[in-house]
Amino acid sequence: MQISKSKDIAKIQKIRLKTFVETFSFQNTEEDMKNYLEEKFSLEQLTTEVDNPESFFYLLEEDNEVLGYLKLNIGKAQTE
């Protein structure tokens, strides 16, 4: 389901931190992970991304549990 902007921001924050840490922590030091997460995964940064009209977040949920998410950027929100 597509999120309703900041209503689901806590759900997004939880799943994106979990998946990033599970995916990349073995390749990085604890200090590097901490610094990167504080800078790129802060609630303030996420709020900016969620409020961007050219970014779309979707959550996959089952039995009120978030199993995953997708972020789609278009236009100027696309950075790569």
Q: Residue 30 has which token pair?
A: 């604890």
Rounded to whole angstroms, the Cα distance separating 13 from 11 reads 5
10-residue mean pLDDT series, the chain (80 residues): 68 93 95 93 90 92 91 88
- CATH assignment of 5-75? 3.40.630.30
Number of residues that this document lists for the chain: 80
Instruction: Break the chain into its structural domains and give their ranges.
Output: 5-75
Percent of the chain clearing pLDDT 70 (strictly above): 90
The reported pTM is 0.78
Do residues 59 and 3 lie in contact, with contact meaning Cβ atoms separated by under 8 Å?
Answer: yes
Rounded to whole angstroms, the Cα distance separating 80 from 73 reads 10
Q: What is the pLDDT of residue 79?
A: 78
Q: H or E element: which one contains 56?
A: strand 55-62
Do residues 35 and 11 lie in contact, with contact meaning Cβ atoms separated by under 8 Å?
Answer: no
